[in-house]
Each structure stands twice: as C-alpha cells, then as structure tokens.
Structure 1
Amino acid sequence: MVGTIPPRNGEGDQPQAGGGGAPRTLRPEVAQARSLRRQMTLPEVLLWQQLRGSQLGVRFRRQHPVGPYIVDFFCASASLAVEVDGTAHDYGDRPARDAERDRFLSDNGIDVLRLCASDVLRDIGSVLAAIAARVARPLHQPAAGPPPRAGEEQEFL
C-alpha cells in the first residue's frame, strides 16, 4: 500500500503490556477522598504537615473514608478522627449533619476531635498538643482484673 508507514522497533501487532482488561473502578467515597486530598484547605494543609510521617508517634491518614463519610484525618491505632471545621459548620443544617456524622463514628468505635480552623491557623502548637493528648488516652480503660463471680462480694479495705 502506498502511504503506509511500517511499525518502528517491532511495535506492530505485539500485545500491549499491562494486562489490559477493564479499567479499575473505585468506590465513590474513595474517589471523593482522592479528590478532597487535592483540594485541602490551608488549615488542613498546615495540620497535615505536622501530622504526616508519624511525627506524633502514630500514623495519620488524610481525607480517609469511614463508612459513608470522609474524615479529615484518621488515626487507626487510636480510633481517632480529627475534623478541622471552618465557620461554615456553624450555619444552616451543618450542625445537625455534623452531629449525625459524629454519632455514626462514635457508634463504630471512633472518637471524634473537632478543631476550629482558626485555632489551627492561630496556634498550631496547642492544636497538636490536644491531638497528642487524645491519642495518648485510650478510648476504653482496661479493668483491673476479671469481674467478680456471681454471688461473691468484693472486700474493701
């Protein structure tokens, strides 16, 4: 055929590397979390710079999906969600939505620490101290021993 360019360097009819197949589809909340990581607010960015790399002795994830919600920062080892709230959280139906979200997280064993964005901007050291204190305090305190058997009474000295 006239005008046909032969393939270079053996490209021709060779199968493509990478396995092919259908493109991988993400759960909607994972796709949204990835998008939110690219659109973080200034207070979130400043806080993330301090939390990343286990600087508080625990690992945090940013914009992490938990059920139908995406929390700003999440520490799995402490079951702690850290939310940075701007002034928009004070108006309209946001307080009710935030309460519902906190209830869902609490019902699933996750402690929620809400921080004001203005506090992060004004005094990030105090904010980090509050997060470190919450991480150091376990959600459930272990008992001093097994409970007494039925019918036994504890003696108090």
Structure 2
Amino acid sequence: MARMHTRRRGSSGSDKPTADDPPEWSDVDADDIESRVVELAEQGYDPSQIGMKLRDEGVTGTPVPDVKLATGKKITEILEENDARSEFPEDLYNLMERAVRLREHIQQNPQDYQNKRALQNTESKVRRLVDYYRGDEVEPDFTYSYDVAKELLDEE
C-alpha cells in the first residue's frame, strides 16, 4: 500500500523479537522502573524519550530493554496510574507543534509552496488524529485550529 501523502511505497520495518520475559542480564525491580518513569516524566520527558533513556541509561546503571516486559505495563499506563500523563497524546502534540512551526514559517515566507503543501498535509493528519482520539484522550468538543494549537503550545 502506498503512503498517505506521497506516491511512494514504504519499505517494511523490522519486527521486534518476541519475548515473554525480560532478559536475565537486566534484573531491575519493577517498582524502581516505575519510580524512574515517573521521575523522568516530571522532568518533562515524553513517553518515547523515557523509553529511550531507560534503554540507554537504565535504572541505577542497569539498562531496561523493554519496560512492558519488566513491569507488565506500558509507560503510558504507568504515567496514568501516577497522574503524570500529559494533556494530549504524544503523536498529536508533536504534529500540532510541527503545524504551528510550519504556519509561522509560511507567514514569513508566503512564496514557499512546498511548505504550504506540507502544512496542509500536517493539519490533515492532526484533524484525523483528533477524530481518532476524540472522547478517550481528547475532549469530545475539541476542534483543531492554529489559534488553539498555538495557545496549547504556549502553556507548556
């Protein structure tokens, strides 16, 4: 199947190896991992950044290859339990951030047609994601606009 906003086809990505339990070389306690996840979230890291930090730095020097295998919960579930979850899902927030940057760029460079098209594609993705998350992660009456996104990004 072709990609959404280009005519190219995507190459298939690699699959994660199937494993039922964490590797024996990473014997970090689940409670330590959860406290480290909450600590990193309070420092302002997103869930994907938290996963990479735990993979690279670990907890007390021991890397954590997979938080879900080690704790039985996803990073977002841990954040939800500890009330450290962000207001918007990470993918939606990043797309809104990109759309705001593109809009500001186009206001300064009105002849940049390539980025006008990129802005249209990005805002289209944002609207589709808002529809997907509506009710669960996003308020039912939320509608995307540049002003709303700019206001949300300025708050954080």
Say yes or no: TM over 0.5: no
State the TM-score, normalized to the length of structure 1: 0.25
Give the structure with higher Rg (CA): 1
State the TM-score, normalized to the length of structure 2: 0.26
Greater percentage in strand? 1
